Amino acid sequence: MDLNNENKHQQLTPQIRKQMKELRLSSGDASMSMGPRASVSIESGASIQIEGMVILGGQTLDVSRPPTTIDAAPLASLRGAADAQLVRQLLEFCY
């Protein structure tokens, strides 16, 4: 049996690999993703909560700068929103 190796690659379509950076934040069933041209600026004193994750203010997020986050579970045991806000302010001061 003779094998014919001539012209075996002439019918293949050239392929180009394309990659994009993405920042994906997830906690539990909630998630947020950002593409390469997106950014989010969070002012000091503000925060973003994604289920059990809290992203503190005073930072800008993009694909090359992932956020500093804290676990929100300990905040759930506080007596109310005022206590949680005080803890967030203290944490922002520490970071």
- Judge whether 33 lies within some domain: yes
- HSE toward the beta carbon, residue 6, CA cutoff 13 A: 2
Q: Please, what is the average pLDDT of the chain? A: 79
- Judge whether 54 lies within some domain: yes
Number of structural domains, the chain?
1
- Judge whether 19 lies within some domain: no
- Judge whether 8 lies within some domain: no
What is the rounded distance in angstroms from the CA atom of residue 95 to the CA atom of residue 91?
Answer: 6
More confident residue, 40 or 85: 40
- Judge whether 17 lies within some domain: no
What is the rounded distance in angstroms from the CA atom of residue 66 to the CA atom of residue 48?
Answer: 14
| Whole-structure pTM value | 0.57
- Judge whether 16 lies within some domain: no
- Adjacent-strand bridge partners of 33: 24
Range of the domain at 43: 29-94
User: In Å, how far from its chain's centre is CA 70?
Assistant: 13
- Judge whether 75 lies within some domain: yes
DSSP secondary structure letter of residue 65: B
Whether 86 has a pLDDT exceeding 80, the answer reads no
Whole-number pLDDT of residue 47: 86
pLDDT (tens digit per residue) in 39-84: 999 998 888 888 888 888 899 999 999 888 877 666 556 556 656 6
| Contact yes or no for 86/80 (Cβ under 8 A) | no
